[in-house]
Amino acid sequence: MKVLTLLCTACFAASALGQDAVRPLVGNHCIECHDAGTAKGKLNLEEVLAEDVAKHSAIWEQVVRRMATRQMPPASRKERPAEAEYEAAVAALAGRLDADAVDHPQPGRTETLRRLNRAEYQNAVRDLLAVDVDAAALLPPDEASHGFDNMSVGTLPPTLLDRYITAAQKISRLAVGAAQRVPGGETIRIKPDITQQERVEGLPFGTRGGAAVPFTFPQDGEYEVQIRLTRDRNDVVEGLHGPHDVLVLLDRAQVKSFTVRPPGDKGHDLVDAHLKFRLPVKAGRRELGVTFLQDSASLLEDKRQPYEARFNFHRHPRTAPALYQVSITGPFSATGPGDTPSRRRIFTAQPHPPQDEMACAQKILAPLLRRAWRRPVTDADVGRLLPLFEDGRKDGGFDAGIESALSAVLVSREFLFRVEPQPADATPGSVYRVGDVALASRLSFFLWSSIPDEELLALAGRGELAQPAVLEAQARRMLADPRARQSLVANFAGQWLHLRNLDGITPDGRLFPDFDDNLRQAMRRETELHVEEILRNDGSVLALLKSDHTFLNERLAKHYGIPHIYGERFRRVALGPETQRGGLLRHASVLMATSYATRTSPVVRGKWILENLIGTPPQPPAPDVPALDESLVSEKLPLRERLAAHRNKAACASCHEFIDPPGFALEHFDAVGRWRSLEAGLPVDASGGLPDGSLFTGADGLEAGMLQRPEIFATAFAEKLLAYALGRAIGPQDAPAVRQIVRRAKAQDFRFSEFVTSLVTSVPFTMRQAL
Amino acid sequence: MSTFTTRTALPRRTFLRGLGCTLALPLLDAMVPALAAEAGTAAKPVRRLGYLFMPMGADMTLWTPRGGDKLDELPFILESLAPVRDCVSIVSNLEIRNAYPGTHATSNASFLSCARAKHTESTDYFLGTTVDQMAAQQIGRETQLPSLELAMDMMQTVGQCDNGYACVYQNNLSWSSPTTPLPAEAHPRIIFETLFGEGGSRAQRQAALRKRSSLLDFVKDDISRLERELGGADRERVGHYLDSVRDVERRIQKAEQSMEENSLPDLDRPTGVPASYAEHARLMFELQLLAMQGDITRVFTFQLARETSNRTYPEAGVSDPHHPLSHHGNDPEKIERMAKINRFHVSLFAEFLQKLRATPEAGGTLLDSSLFLYGSGMGNPNVHDHMNLPIIVAGGAAGGMKGGRHIRCEQPTPLANLHLTLLDKAGVRLDKFQDSTGKVDGLFEPLGI
């Protein structure tokens, strides 16, 4: 009977006060703990129950979240609402909150001034000047907050400004191909824990190890290449037991070969001293390959070794020499700036007669400035660059003038910052539609991590971009561009799924002797390719959770115990259930990123799942919660029993009863993501659960449990995507927009593009609150 | 009077107990009446500190000076120090207890940290903040770089290096926190660019600064316009940006000014790595000298070679690799060859000191206002011990350095005591550093009170 009443009230909830639908459920199930007196978790529902739901939306959004994920009332309570009761209450509450959001949109406020982060800076330079730079080498790292590095970008400390100036000078010089006073150079070091026994992707078959190094040669001229081989701690060149051929390739064509030989009874000091030569190179981006000729003798020797990893002479010595570093120095006897993509992009006009240099400079700079500043520019705007052009021209001619003006463009605020000032007439607290020009940047930085292209700028210039149909069409067009996949995989998925953390993780060498950087990179690649496939095919994001195939190369396949996969190349591999693979939760990348160096951590894994896949991040332990007394919990006990001590303490239990069970379900995967049936000699106990109270065993159960209510995962995904798109933390006021996105996506089988198109037309993306 | 200092001067007697090294009576900073320092009668902090590490100890019979307290007769290894004798003192009988059980990894790691390295070969390594970094926090704040870390080995090893210790311990002398090793650079071009950017002649460097300065003017104007366009809190933020602009402006002005004051020669960027060790090492010393001259940084660490290095030194007439020689098994021939390597390393240091003494700066020479600690974290490498370490202190008049002496500690004394003494000279006031039990007395002139 009660259920029936609830269902009925749900029908008109959107227009009614809302609390009518909720009051019985709250009264029966919630108020005991969340009354004014107890107010568990500092939540007091008693005082808001009498008023309109919309008046206390932040509180009721919390209630919606906890009830939608069935976390409240907690599973430990004997009496919980029936499923239909839950659904009705959530629908009623959310309906009322959504209706109010339509009447009173709350778009939140993105920062007025947001600096480009390193990835955006690098992409913007690429799209503006057709020159590839490594922003990580030019600028300090960005701080991340709320999981992404495009949020804490409001400040401009002096050191950063200093680096921006240096970077602008370097980039503009490289882009115009200016002459250098003395030869410059770069030294590229290979990570020391890379095994170099196999062919490296991008280098020819029949080669082994080494690296393919992309390098922008600043001018036509001669360059010196010097190669050094890896030495062990005793300064002995590793793996040099016989002669080996070293090959040097420029854009995949062999330009030089050397032979290195063991030095006999002499020291190894000079073994690689002769690996040095000069060659003429045309300006521009080229790939320098340095590698070894594969020889069958060492191949055989290799197969006898117990481990794949080969980089440290104590545990797993190299059996063949490896590349340590490549130095490129030059140009010597430079013959000119050459014909490079960046020069073709920049010098769209040439001054003749020379008298009209100024006019020509204006002609060159105006379109560049428009792209750099992402808006229509005036003659006055271009005019501000001309004194710098003149300065440079006086010293070094027309090209130097352009170089000087370009460096000013690269340090200008409208290039370095995304500025979204509010309309002058906006009253504080009011909301307004973001202008077309700002929308163009919002779109391009979201989907490309870069500046808008001509089409976006043109639409914005004509004032057409804000139309929802145009926005959607543009989003679809941009998603089809490879830049979208590249940046969403690297910057969104890389941070959302913690893939970026992998580089900082090295499992304990004694326990996991077969770990090397090759494996680390392969782990990351699997997840990246999995995400990329969904983007490319516009598949359902639920395929992230469960998949009948994955992407493997030989190294990772061996790690997973999957046979018949050979070579460094990644390929799509169909999986049977016996492989225990497919789906994020079985990716070694995720499993390692959520483990300690020596062991798995169900707590870290559980927290990762709650935070990133379920969308209910656990609160950090309150300051008055005592730490677990380690001395009372024997080291000898299995991990599960040690953690049980957590849940015997009331202060710990209230959170850990949610956190630990999903993590326990993954206990069949060890700290580097390998499958195991035994842990410390005992059969693995992978019984786990979800915060909704469901209980199951293993990853299968966890996946099934999460797919039972796919909106939960879709909501978590949409929130992460929205946070990334806006560059700000998501709050309760964004919940109606998130629900709208999820509703639309659900109607289209959770296709990725539906998330994106409904996101870019949502209130928080297209509107802003005035201050 | 700007500040009131209420510290009471301690009687010297308080400190006479328990200190091993006895040349002069200890005279510590705390004994200087509080106001004396401000009156300028007492010690002036030294301007810069350098730490030089040589690997795998030395043969102490050919290292330790004979005779009395004066450095009259220099032993085989130290002979090259003769021309700078008055600026160096040898300190004997120092030890690092925290380096035990004796290994190459801990010899390197404990030299400047005096801390016990956590025994691990994984990434959970833990050591201690090193003295150079403590000094950098004090005297490195004013310069372009707080400190400079240099090495001679163009290599980087990972995983396990020595007796189950992670390679970071053996590779990195300098640690800015117990978990943050600071990798040293060995490539002269990379160091040069860190210090001087493009370099060039004075005119060229001035032109480069002018360019930066005009770009900064553009930024300033550009951001000021923004200030007019925005309101409220956003305008406040723009105010912070402008503060940053002014800060960078000051840096450029400082660089321009220091270019006026310092007689840095034309700076030509080195392109490659010299093939011979001696040439490479001299270039590295030259870069340090230039960094001092230009006041780019005031704290230096330089690892002359890594522990377990198997480098050969044909320049010194030694064609055997160093590490096996260091396990000489008391074979006199091997000892002699090892000593030649020690002697060669010291001779490069002696050359450097001479150059510093020949380079004038305001009020004296570069050496006058510098202090150097040269030595090893190992004593007798044949048995991997960490006692009776080979240690030289070198420095000039500004810090009150009393050179030309051999200071013998009666009892084995922590190297940390010497670190504490040198830090004190750089104005870093610590009561204790790791296992220190006091300071090393007699290194410096008593202060006039």
What ipTM did this prediction achieve?
0.89
Residue B420 C-alpha, separation from nearest chain A C-alpha, in angstroms:
32
Indicate the pLDDT class of residue A464, thresholds 50, 70 and 90.
very high
pLDDT at B287: 94
The string of pLDDT tens digits covering residues A102-114 is 999 999 999 999 9
pLDDT at A19: 58
**What does the angle CA B170 – CA B175 – CA B178 come to, to the nearest 5 degrees?**
100
* B382: CB partners within 8 A, 6+ apart: B326, B327, B328, B329, B330
The string of pLDDT tens digits covering residues A23-49 is 788 888 888 889 888 888 888 888 888
Partner residue facing B159 (CB), from A154, A168, A509: A509
Give the mean pLDDT of A418-443. Answer: 93
What DSSP string runs through A101-148? HHHS-------SEEE--HHHHHHHHHHHHS----HHHHSPPPP-BTTB
CA A227 to chain CA mean position, Å: 33
pLDDT at A651: 72
Q: Which of A210-224, A288-302, B110-124 has the highest mean pLDDT?
A: A210-224
Interface test with B, best of A235, A278, A422 (most B CBs within 10 A): A235
- The H or E element that residue A184 is part of is strand A184-189
> A10 pLDDT exceeds 50?
no
Q: Which residues of A touch B238 (CB under 8 A)?
A: 113
Q: How far apart are CA B399 and CA A178, in angstroms?
A: 48
Q: Is there a contact between A233 and B121 if contact means CB atoms under 8 Å apart?
A: no
- Tell me the pLDDT of chain A averaged across its residues: 90
Q: How far apart are CA B161 and CA B105, in angstroms?
A: 8
Give the mean pLDDT of A260-276. Answer: 88
pLDDT at B220: 95
* B359: CB partners within 8 A, 6+ apart: B289, B293, B365, B366, B367
- Chain B contact for A15, CB < 8 A? no
> A619 pLDDT exceeds 50?
yes
CA Rg value for chain B? 23
pLDDT at B305: 93
pLDDT at B38: 36
B152 to chain A: nearest residue by CA? A235
Q: How far apart are CA A257 and CA B146, in angstroms?
A: 43
Q: What is the phi/psi pair of residue A356, to 5°?
A: -95, 30
User: Which residue, A30, A93, A36, A29, is CA-closest to A732?
Assistant: A93
User: Which residue, A533, A646, A530, A536, is CA-closest to A590?
Assistant: A530
pLDDT at B397: 75
Q: Which residues of A touch B161 (CB under 8 A)?
A: 233, 314
* B68: CB partners within 8 A, 6+ apart: B406
Q: How far apart are CA B437 and CA B18, in angstroms?
A: 8
The string of pLDDT tens digits covering residues A712-736 is 999 999 999 999 999 999 999 999 9
CA dihedral A436, A440, A446, A450 (to 10 degrees): -150
Q: Is there a contact between A267 and B311 if contact means CB atoms under 8 Å apart?
A: yes
Q: Which residues of B touch A268 (CB under 8 A)?
A: 310
Q: Range with the lowest mean pLDDT among A58-62, A461-465, A636-640, B342-346?
A: A636-640
pLDDT at A135: 92
Q: Which residues of B touch A154 (CB under 8 A)?
A: 237
> A173 pLDDT exceeds 50?
yes
pLDDT at A7: 38
> A652 pLDDT exceeds 90?
no
Q: How far apart are CA A147 and CA A153, in angstroms?
A: 13
| pLDDT by 10s per residue, chain B, length 449 | 333 333 334 433 333 333 345 333 333 333 333 333 333 334 467 889 999 999 999 999 999 999 888 898 899 999 999 999 999 999 999 999 999 988 999 999 999 999 999 988 776 789 999 999 999 988 887 787 889 999 998 766 666 677 778 888 998 999 999 988 888 888 888 888 888 877 888 888 888 889 999 999 999 999 998 888 887 778 888 988 999 899 888 888 877 877 777 667 777 778 777 878 999 999 999 999 999 988 889 999 999 999 988 888 988 998 888 988 999 999 999 999 999 999 999 999 999 999 999 998 877 899 999 999 999 999 999 999 999 999 999 998 777 888 899 999 999 999 999 999 999 988 888 999 999 999 988 788 654 33
Give the mean pLDDT of A412-430. Answer: 91
pTM of the model: 0.83
pLDDT at B263: 66
> A9 pLDDT exceeds 70?
no
Give the mean pLDDT of A113-127. Answer: 96
pLDDT at B449: 34
Q: How far apart are CA A485 and CA A490, in angstroms?
A: 8
Residue pairs spanning A and B at CB distance below 8 A:
160
pLDDT at A625: 63
- Chain B contact for A753, CB < 8 A? no
Contact B138, B131 (CB under 8 A): no
The string of pLDDT tens digits covering residues A524-562 is 999 999 999 999 999 999 999 999 999 999 999 999 999
CA dihedral A714, A718, A724, A729 (to 10 degrees): -110
Indicate the pLDDT class of residue A2, thresholds 50, 70 and 90.
very low
- Chain B contact for A162, CB < 8 A? yes
Partner residue facing A158 (CB), from B153, B230, B244: B244
Q: Is there a contact between B156 and A192 if contact means CB atoms under 8 Å apart?
A: yes
B250 to chain A: nearest residue by CA? A158
User: Which residue, A196, A113, A199, is CA-closest to A154?
Assistant: A113
Biggest distance spanned by C-alpha atoms of chain A: 94
Contact A388, B219 (CB under 8 A): no
Biggest distance spanned by C-alpha atoms of chain B: 81
Q: Is there a contact between A315 and B160 if contact means CB atoms under 8 Å apart?
A: yes
User: Which residue, B114, B100, B121, is CA-closest to B383?
Assistant: B100
- Chain B contact for A416, CB < 8 A? no
B275 to chain A: nearest residue by CA? A273
> A194 pLDDT exceeds 70?
yes
Interface test with B, best of A189, A224, A233 (most B CBs within 10 A): A233
Letter string b/e over residues A747-762, b meaning 16 or more CB atoms within 10 A of that residue's CB: eeebbbbbbbbbbbbb
- Chain B contact for A51, CB < 8 A? no
Give the mean pLDDT of A648-662. Answer: 83
pLDDT at B156: 65
Give the mean pLDDT of A288-312. Answer: 82
Q: How far apart are CA A385 and CA A414, in angstroms?
A: 13
Better pLDDT: A505 or B418: B418
